[in-house]
Amino acid sequence: MAAAFSNTNTFDPCNKYTSLDQPWRANNETELDICDRRFSWDGWYRFFYYGMNIRMAESCVPTSRCGTYYTLWLNGPHPEIEDGVVTRQVCGNTGSDCCLFGSTSIKVKTCPGNYSVYKLFRPKYCNTAYCTDVSTITPNPQVNTSTMSITCLQANGTHFIYENSIQGVADSAGGPINRKKELELRFSCVYKLRQTLTMDMEFSPLQSIVHKTLLDGQGMYQVRMIPYQDAAFSHPYNGTEDIEVDQRIFMEVTVQGVDGRQIATVIDSCWVTPVNDQNYAVRWDLIINRCPNPGDNTVKVLQNGVSTAAHFFFKMLAFNGNYSKIYLHCDIHLCLLQNNNCAANCSPGHQHRAGRSVDTHDRASISVGPFIRTAGCTGE
């Protein structure tokens, strides 16, 4: 079954943009050492704060906010809807000058529905990030006013609704990912929906392996990342089994070729992207600073920094928009075991310190994927 959409030759960024639900960009968030220069910026973007609309800051933002040190803010008001696309200067606060990086310009458009979209460009310097303003947060409407002729439509995460009529389309732009969708429509037939992801066989279905040489040149080691079906980490996925969206996935990151009495594996961060690019702007963080992303309660770190194997789990997700793949990336480091100094403390209210250089033996990055999304309709 398929859905027929109306065609238009006029490009409108209000209808075609990339969603960025990254709460750390808010002007009340403290430093996370994010660098927007590392991301691949392409096209128009819309900001969200935990699924709610949020706009770029229009006034100078203090340093060490918005997940970075040098904060980028919009030097000028947002346009009105009737103004269309406008050009605005972006300033960067260095602490001594609120608008030192004043030569950067972006495109801005205000859209029906009380939100704005931005054509962003790669900043000139690192340790900079685009900032949003929490005072501009507004709820995100569940249904937009666009229409389509519906024959097979995902409605609530578990069913398709079949109906030959003109109906509102579910607004899937409430952030970059989803684990559930809700939409109320009249219907004549209901079809079960199963949204699944499988691993592409052209990539290693059992594990991802990275070979590394120690900085001092005295040896080599391997980093492996393996998805498992169970909490005992005894049944790895073999690339042929379906993974339901919202299904729990158990991940193991292990290092081989080092002395387990002296070295521990520490996961510093993990995130997912819809393309095979660790620096892609659309991403969802699972682990930040060795601990679960506070904005995702499906993530739990089971073991980190106590042995050569680190374990965590999360619930499988799907990116909104025209994305069908999921890639998982992790940054790790090898930690020299000294008085339990490598273990991460993720208890509530505890701010984990960055690892001391004396503890860090080597660093590595590893990725696994893609998980490919498929969906099927079966009559109920």
Which helix (H) or strand (E) covers residue 48, if one does? strand 44-49
How far is the C-alpha of 357 from the C-alpha of 362, rounded, in Å?
10
- Which residues have CB under 8 Å from 233's CB, separation 6+? 250, 252, 311
Please tell me the predicted confidence (pLDDT) of residue 269. 93
Q: And the tokens for 350?
A: 């505890």
DSSP assignment of 139-196: PPPSEEEEEEE-SSEE-SSSEEEE-SSEEEEE---SSSEES--------SEEEEEEEE
Please tell me the predicted confidence (pLDDT) of residue 298. 93
Could you tell me which of 192, 185, 182 has the C-alpha nearest to residue 165? 185
pLDDT by position in tens, the chain (length 380): 333 333 445 788 998 899 898 888 999 887 677 888 888 888 999 999 888 899 999 999 999 999 888 999 999 999 999 899 999 999 999 888 898 776 678 999 999 888 999 999 888 888 899 999 999 988 765 444 344 443 444 444 444 444 444 444 444 445 677 766 444 444 445 544 445 555 543 333 345 565 555 555 556 778 888 888 889 988 887 765 667 788 899 999 988 888 888 888 999 999 999 988 888 888 999 999 999 999 899 999 999 998 989 999 999 888 887 788 889 999 988 888 876 678 878 877 654 544 444 456 678 888 887 887 655 444 44
Please tell me the predicted confidence (pLDDT) of residue 193. 45
Which helix (H) or strand (E) covers residue 291, if one does? strand 291-292
The answer to whether residues 19 and 280 touch, using CB atoms and an 8 Å cutoff, is no
Please tell me the predicted confidence (pLDDT) of residue 194. 47
CB-count exposure of residue 4 (10 Å: 0-12, 13-18, 19+):
exposed
Instruction: Classify 12 as helix, strand or coil.
Output: coil
Please tell me the predicted confidence (pLDDT) of residue 111. 92
Residue 368 neighbours by CB distance under 10 Å: 24
